[in-house]
Amino acid sequence: MERAIMGNIFEHDAVPTWSGFVYQGRITVYLAVKKIYELSVLGKEKEIQNYYVEMEKCEDISFLYRDEEGEKYESIHQVKNRAERDILKYRGPLTQLMLEKGYYIKHNLGNPNAFLHVSSPICFGKNSSLKDIVKQWHCEVKAVFEKLCALQEKLKTGKNSEAMLETLASCDLGKIIKLERAEYTRLRKAIKEACDKKDSVGAERALDQMICFLKENLCVCDINEKVELFTYDGEDYCSGTEIFSKIVDCVREYKGEGAGLSEDQLKYIADILLCFVSNEILERHKLLQEKKDAFCTIPLYEFENILNDSVEKNEEEANILALKRMYDDWLEQYCEICLAENENNCQKERCKLQLPDYRKNTLEKDNFIRMCYTLNPECDKRITNRECLAGLLMRDGMLESVFPAIKRISEKHFIKETDKTHIAVMNERKNAFITAITNPLATQTVKNIIKAMGAHQELIETIFDADQLVTSRLNASSSVWDDSCIVIQPDELEEDSIGNDDEKHSIYVAKKPQFIEFERFFEEVENER
């Protein structure tokens, strides 16, 4: 089958935010496992070989079916991880779904089910439903196109050109067809400029191009109003944290009770799937940043292979994947809170939390482990112990000090030359490490750190290179270490020179860092001259 050329109209031309990227990845895994399970229940396991998951090409997620007759789109999915609840905020993605569905039908590329996925409940207004609202928008798109065609004919006559230009200028295409594509934006701008200049010839030419674009590229004449909100167990929304539980449920259904898998093993499989998808999308983003074409298409059987692999209890690997998922969960929660409080500022500039240098859960394995322990140096459980999850990347510390520090502290204060496992900030002449420590009791915090040093000194000893440890709730001077076994490392210390038992059991460090609560630290740094 000869496939129609899509061009750059529906293809993605922007990289989503980090929280959007994470949410999209989780939805992809959920849909893939759900599809595999459904095909298995129907006895159509062999058809899994014919399905492909397409990400970030024309839609966030698409499912394709390929056989000897060609390729068809079975479903297309827009994914929006937003706090907005007003349905009007989603006119753009819903309109695009309607246009895209019509495009596929027209070009014999399938009749896909079209879904919008949202992370928050949507308000439709009194006596309204999504079906009614979408139908209205569908009619408005058709109406504005017919109006443009009528104006086109009138402009060609040359009569009442000034009045026609005023009418053309009043056609708010950007409101009716909300589509962020370069060519569409260019044509709208050309029409506006011609109307402003009272240039009837230029307006006629720009209008001709716009009508051709709308008809041939966007297929407005074929716009299809059958789009839906995706439902999860009866709910038409699902948050980023909740979707993980649903992925685990899907894995459980697919594997069956006879597999004898524990809850941790099911979560491990889910985390492997998430990591697999994340790596695929990140590779695509890397290529995009290098100005290279890249589309992410994954055969559905690759998801099936992961599901069918035997799960040997690999505690360390499972814990690392779980910690990376926790990092994403806490970041999503922080972004939701931040967006609710600072919506305008968040939209004006790209937050440092979205930048690669600060995406700490993308670190390589060993560095990621070290980063977790330097953020929470009180944790005395090894990464191979499931109990470490309760002591690392603790939610309150991430939301109260780590993420706020990255977002709010000016870029100029960060020390980039330091080990990537640390979030280091210069406070006057003091070297500060951001931590997720939440314990407000100084003496107990010191005892916990000393205990952790005994368990895995190599993972946390670098915190003693800092003058300050930034916490969420603790302020304490460096003297808090004086009654501990922590001793400042002499310039020239030889093992033979260590005499008594106390000296032999002391932990020698570079510095005794001060503990400082984040808000106090932030004020000091930002007021620094």
Could you read off the pLDDT of 32-61 as tens digits, one per residue?
A: 999 999 999 999 999 999 999 998 777 889
DSSP code, position 123: B
Least confident of 134-143, 232-241, 331-340, 479-488: 331-340
Nearest-CA neighbor of 409 among 363, 470, 468?
Answer: 470
Higher pLDDT, 168 or 116: 116
Burial class (CB in 10 A: 0-12, 13-18, 19+), 143: exposed
At 11, the pLDDT band (50, 70, 90 cuts) reads low
Global confidence as pTM: 0.84
Q: What angle do CA 331, 333, 338 make, to 5 degrees?
A: 90
Residue 495, pLDDT above cutoff 70: no
Q: For all residues of the chain together, what is the average pLDDT?
A: 87
What would the 3-class secondary structure string for 257-268 be?
HHHCCCHHHHHH
Q: What is the DSSP string of 195-245?
A: HHTT-HHHHHHHHHHHHHIIIIIS-GGG----EEE--BTTBS---HHHHHH
> How many angstroms from the chain centroid is the CA of residue 106?
33
| More confidently predicted of 309 and 505 | 309
Tell me the pLDDT band of 237, cut-offs 50, 70 and 90.
very high
Contact 522, 408 (CB under 8 A): yes
Q: What is the pLDDT of residue 389?
A: 93
Task: Find out whether 152 and 205 touch, Cβ atoms under 8 Å.
Answer: no
Q: What is the pLDDT of residue 155?
A: 84
Residue 294 has pLDDT above 70, yes or no: no
CB 470 within 8 A of CB 506: no
Of 53, 73, 51, 61, nearest to 12 by C-alpha is 61
* Burial profile 347-359: b = 16 or more Cβ within 10 angstroms, e = fewer: eeeebbbbeeebb
Which residue did the predictor score with more confidence, 303 or 345? 303
> In this predicted structure, which of 22-36, 103-117, 459-473, 504-518 has the lowest mean pLDDT?
504-518
Residue 122 pLDDT more than 70? Answer: yes
Phi-psi map region of 347: left, alpha, beta (phi>0 left; psi -120 to 50 alpha): alpha
Say what the pLDDT of residue 446 is.
Answer: 95
Asked whether residue 4 carries a pLDDT value surpassing 50, the answer given is no
Render pLDDT for 357-416 as a digit per residue (tens, 0 to 9): 788 888 899 999 999 999 999 999 999 999 999 999 999 999 999 999 999 999 889 987
DSSP state of 56: S
Angle of CA points 133, 137, 141, to nearest 5°: 170
Euclidean distance between CA atoms 325 and 321, whole angstroms: 6
Is the pLDDT at 498 greater than 90, yes or no?
Answer: no
Specify the pLDDT at position 158. 74
Burial 291-324 (b: 16+ CB within 10 A, else e): eeeeebebebbebbebbeeebeeeeebbbbbbbb
> Considering the chain, what percentage of its residues have pLDDT values greater than 70?
88
Least confident span in 30-34, 160-164, 166-170, 508-512? 160-164
List, for residues 123-164, the tens digit of each pLDDT value: 988 768 899 999 999 999 999 999 999 988 888 887 777 888
Least confident interval from 215-229, 392-406, 446-460, 479-493: 479-493
What span, in angstroms and rounded, lies between the C-alpha atoms of 101 and 425? 50
More confident residue, 99 or 21: 99
More confident residue, 157 or 101: 101
Q: What is the pLDDT of residue 313?
A: 66
Contacts of 84 (CB under 8 A, 6+ apart): 90, 120
Q: What is the mean pLDDT of residues 253-264?
A: 90
Name the percent of the chain lying above pLDDT 90: 58
